[in-house]
Amino acid sequence: MQFPLTFWEIGLWFAYMAIVLLITSEMITPYFEEEFLIIDKKPLRISALIFGLLFMFFVLMQIYRFPPS
């Protein structure tokens, strides 16, 4: 049985998640946190950073595997 996702697709998923989490953490303002949202921005930013670093790792691995001609 073959895994349905390729190495590059997983890297793109990491990039997408990093962008979504970063935008979400920036869109949440302190005003919303005080009113009705109980979401801490710090864990969102940390998880966005982790996903971004994972994406960069996957890009570097792709460059290492398939060097540009």
Instruction: Flag whether 21 is in a domain.
Output: yes
Instruction: Flag whether 22 is in a domain.
Output: yes
Q: pLDDT band at residue 59, thresholds of 50, 70 and 90?
A: confident
Q: Rounded to an integer, what is the distance from CA 56 to the centroid of its chain?
A: 10
Domain of 50, in residue numbers: 7-63
Instruction: Flag whether 68 is in a domain.
Output: no
Compare 20 and 33 and report the one with higher pLDDT.
20
Q: What tens digit of pLDDT does each residue of 27-42 get? A: 776 555 566 666 777 8
Instruction: Flag whether 31 is in a domain.
Output: yes
Burial class of residue 29 in the structure, from the number of CB atoms within 10 Å of its CB (0-12 exposed, 13-18 middle, 19+ buried): exposed
The total of structural domains in the chain comes to 1
Instruction: Flag whether 2 is in a domain.
Output: no
Instruction: Flag whether 1 is in a domain.
Output: no
Q: Rounded to an integer, what is the distance from CA 26 to the centroid of its chain?
A: 14
Q: What is the DSSP string of 45-64?
A: HHHHHHHHHHHHHHHHHHHH
